[in-house]
Amino acid sequence: MKSGKARIYCNNCEEEDSSTEDVEEEDVQLCEKILKDIQKKVSALPSLIKQLDSITQSMSVLSDKYDTLLEEQERSKTKIIKLENTVTTISNKCVYLEKCNVALEQKIHEFEQSTRKHNIEIVGIEEMPGENIKDIVTRIGNTLGVHCDEIDWSRRNKVNKQNNKPSPIVIGFKTSGTNIRDTWLVQRKKLVGVTSNTITGGKNMDKIYINEDLTKTQRALLWNTKKQLQGIYKYIWVTNGKILVKKVEGDKSFWIRSESDISDLLKVK
């Protein structure tokens, strides 16, 4: 009352009332702020809904495309399986055809070789100017002690000439002279030590050999057989156009028809 004011509370109560008002004011401000935040977020909901709809549509499109891809993948798997089966079938046919081709080639070679079954080949005779092949063959026959009556023809084989060596002489016997031809082959061991100059009167002193008349293919096969199997197989020889090999005396002989036969023998050596 002395200060001119009418007071209904003591100092302590007034301070408490003032503190309560401040708290209430802060609560109101906080609520307003929260409300604004809520209004702001609520105002953003339509935009989010649109984005969600867009995402939903995109997911639906992607789902359809995924289903389409799965279907295409299944179709592709089916096609791949069919193609693999086709490739396997074609591969098997190719292998079969290759075997047939090899068999046919062997038959052709054997047939070609059979056309020479009445022939022999003389290697190492020097080529002389104006030579008479018939006389040379007769001299060799006399050296062997065999007949020449069954000889049908004789000539130099220029095709089988090797390097600078003289061309071999090929003798063709008559069909009725098969035994005589075999006799020439049996008696050829008598040519050991006989050289070309003793037959032709020339200067060449090469040794003379009598062999079966082989085709180019069979000759190459014989050369490869000797190159790869010599030292492993003691005996390598030709009989009636067939190349035979044998490891030791009394052992089984093998017929070499092709390069694959050589490879097979090398595997089991």
194 within 8 A of 139, measured Cβ to Cβ: no
Indicate the pTM of the whole model.
0.64
Question: pLDDT tens across 132-144, in order?
Answer: 999 999 999 999 9
Is the model more confident about 211 or about 16?
Answer: 211
232 within 8 A of 269, measured Cβ to Cβ: yes
pLDDT exceeds 50 at position 1: no
Question: pLDDT tens across 168-218, in order?
Answer: 999 999 988 788 999 999 999 999 989 999 999 888 899 999 999 999 999
**Separation of alpha carbons 236 and 225, rounded Å:** 8
Rounded to 10 degrees, what is the CA torsion of 210, 215, 217, 222? -20
